[in-house]
């Protein structure tokens, strides 16, 4: 593993930890990670822009949840400084005995402030 590859993996892991921590503890603050150009496809539904994406995420039919991450794969993208992050894991909903498997990908684009925003976000539950 070279230095570039290692840095991409570190950014991917840090982002994933941050993202799902916000999702599970303070979901409305996820809006800080998106920009007007951002796209979310959630279970096949296309949503664009900070407001609509935040609206979708905060109006899901469960108030509390816990993401348990299984795998994180990160690659540099063709966009300069961009990173593609691919996640698999389990979603625990309150009162549900069984966890739901999910997969999600993020395309992270660097901001001029030196952090990243989510340009592309695709989420799918994996039905058995």
Question: Residues near 82 by Cβ (< 8 Å), separated by ≥ 6?
Answer: 76, 107, 108, 109, 110, 119
Residue of the chain from 75, 96, 111, 115 that contacts a copy of itself (CB under 8 A): 75
Judge whether 71 and 104 are in contact, CB under 8 Å: no
Contact between 101 and a copy of itself by CB under 8 A: the answer reads yes
Taking CB under 8 A as the binding criterion, the range among 16-24, 26-34, 38-46, 53-61 that sits at the site for a copy of itself is 38-46
Contact between 86 and a copy of itself by CB under 8 A: the answer reads yes
Judge whether 69 and 89 are in contact, CB under 8 Å: yes
Contact between 88 and a copy of itself by CB under 8 A: the answer reads yes
Residue of the chain from 49, 69, 82, 93 that contacts a copy of itself (CB under 8 A): 82
Contact between 39 and a copy of itself by CB under 8 A: the answer reads yes
CB closer to a copy of itself, 29 vs 115:
115
Contact between 62 and a copy of itself by CB under 8 A: the answer reads no
DSSP letters spanning 66-120? EEEEEEEEEEE-SSTT-EEEEEEEEEEPTT-SSPEEEEEEEEEEE-TTSSEEEEE
**Distance between CA 13 and CA 71 in Å, rounded?**
10
Three-class DSSP category at 24: helix
Q: Which residues bind a copy of itself (CB under 8 A)?
A: 1, 5, 39, 41, 44, 46, 70-71, 73, 75-79, 82, 84, 86, 88, 101, 103, 105, 107, 109, 119-120, 122, 124, 126-128
């Amino acid at each position: 593993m070279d230095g570039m590859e290692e840095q991409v993996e570190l950014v991917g892991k840090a982002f994933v930890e941050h993202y799902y921590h916000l999702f599970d503890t303070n979901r409305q603050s996820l809006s800080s990670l998106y920009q007007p150009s951002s796209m979310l496809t959630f279970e096949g539904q296309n949503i664009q822009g900070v407001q609509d994406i935040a609206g979708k995420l905060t109006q899901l039919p469960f108030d509390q949840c816990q993401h348990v991450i299984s795998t994180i794969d990160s690659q540099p993208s063709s966009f300069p400084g961009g990173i593609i992050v691919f996640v698999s894991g389990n979603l625990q909903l309150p009162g549900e005995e069984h966890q739901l498997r999910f997969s999600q990908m993020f395309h992270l684009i660097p901001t001029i402030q030196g952090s990243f925003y989510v340009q592309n976000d695709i989420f799918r539950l994996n039905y058995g």
